[in-house]
Amino acid sequence: MTDARPGYGSPSVSSIGVPMVEARRVQKSYGRLEVLKGIDMTVGRGEVLCLIGPSGSGKSTFLRCINHLEKIDGGELAVDGDLVGYRQGGDKLYELKDNEVCAKRAEIGMVFQRFNLFPHMSVLDNVTSGPVWVKKAPGGPSKDRARELLARVGLADKVANYPNQLSGGQQQRVAIARALAMDPKLMLFDEPTSALDPELVGDVLDVMRDLARDGMTMIVVTHEMGFAREVGDTVVFMDGGVVVEQGDPTEVLTNPQHERTKSFLAKVL
């Protein structure tokens, strides 16, 4: 999926053929516990990749590695052609400085299971915090843009509210708007609907579906198999720190090849 759909991040000419995320033998350990045991994955531009698997399989850890929230211990991980955590200079790799890491993170949006909105700030300030503080964007236009984004996620009337006055589903949609305000080239979703009441899940998934339709590159860690089938371009099943199976959602979800995929799907579907 390399066709750059319009609407998000105009890719530079040189990087147009490069996949958005490319992982080769990515390893990660916490002490002696090996969480990722050599992950290979490619996410094309505009692709929606759904990561599924039992808890503890390393899905979230992998997602966090892409955003520099975790450091990888082995292998290679590149976002938009640039290595995560390093800058190449001649034949050497230089570890990124704090401000360089921040600049990289600013290009990637992330949505968390527990929303993590800033509770001391209004909904509008939550959404403008990134553009105004990180990108030093002027306040007025940032607010207009934030209102626009909030309207898009169906929360135009909540701009002045504080996060704890909103339902979980509304908070998660604000979190999506907050991430979008940074004009990310890639959106990471870490179980965005797992902390929600069942009847609130739909609204959040609708927003994500719209986003996918507009051509956003997305990696979604999820337990929503319906969403994965409908919206995902690829489904990756992970277990025990390895990719067990990946491919077309309908294929993987209805006709899994691997025993472990079968037994997992039997439990969740």
Partner 1 sequence: MKIVPVRHPWRWAASGVIVVLVAMLVNTLVFSHVVRGGTREGRFQWGVVGHYLFATPILRGIVVTLELTVIAMAAGVTIGIILAVMRLSPSRLLSGSAWIYIWFFRGTPVLVQLFFWYVGISYLYQHLALGIPFGTAFFTLNSTTLITSFVAGALGLSLNEGAYMSEIVRAGIISVDEGQTEAAASLGMSKGLTLRKIVLPQAMRVIIPPTGNETISMLKTTSLVSTISVVELFQATQNISNTNYQVVPLLTVASLWYLFFTSVMTVGQFYIERHYARGSSRQLPPTPFQRLRMSMRHARPRPGPFRVEAPVAATYD
Q: Pick the closer one to partner 1 by CB: 21 or 110.
A: 110
Q: What angle do CA 56, 115, 265 make, to 5 degrees?
A: 35
Q: Closest separation between CB of residue 208 and partner 1, Å?
A: 17
130 and 182 Cβ atoms separated by less than 8 Å:
yes
36 and 62 Cβ atoms separated by less than 8 Å:
yes
- Contact track, partner 1, 195-234, x by CB under 8 A: ----------------------------------------
Q: Closest separation between CB of residue 82 and partner 1, Å?
A: 15
Q: How far apart are CA 63 and CA 58, in angstroms?
A: 9
**Residue 258 binding partner 1, by CB under 8 A:** no
Please report, for the chain, how many H helices and E strands are present, in that order. Answer: 9, 12
Q: Closest separation between CB of residue 97 and partner 1, Å?
A: 11
The H-or-E segment that residue 243 falls in is: strand 242-247
**Residue 98 binding partner 1, by CB under 8 A:** yes
**Residue 151 binding partner 1, by CB under 8 A:** no
Q: Which of these segments, 21-29, 103-111, 228-236, 238-246, binds partner 1 (CB under 8 A)?
A: 103-111
The single residue among 2, 55, 88, 165 that binds partner 1, judged by CB under 8 A, is: 165
The single residue among 182, 205, 207, 243 that binds partner 1, judged by CB under 8 A, is: 182
**Residue 105 binding partner 1, by CB under 8 A:** yes
Q: Is 160 helix (H, G, I), strand (E, B) or coil?
A: coil
Nearest residue to 11 via CA among 221, 179, 184, 177? 184
**Residue 72 binding partner 1, by CB under 8 A:** no
211 and 187 Cβ atoms separated by less than 8 Å:
yes
User: Does residue 80 come out as left (phi exceeding 0), alpha (psi in the -120 to 50 range) or beta?
Assistant: left
**Residue 238 binding partner 1, by CB under 8 A:** no
Q: Which residues bind partner 1 (CB under 8 A)?
A: 67-69, 98-99, 102-110, 112, 114, 116-121, 129-130, 133-134, 162-165, 175, 178-179, 182
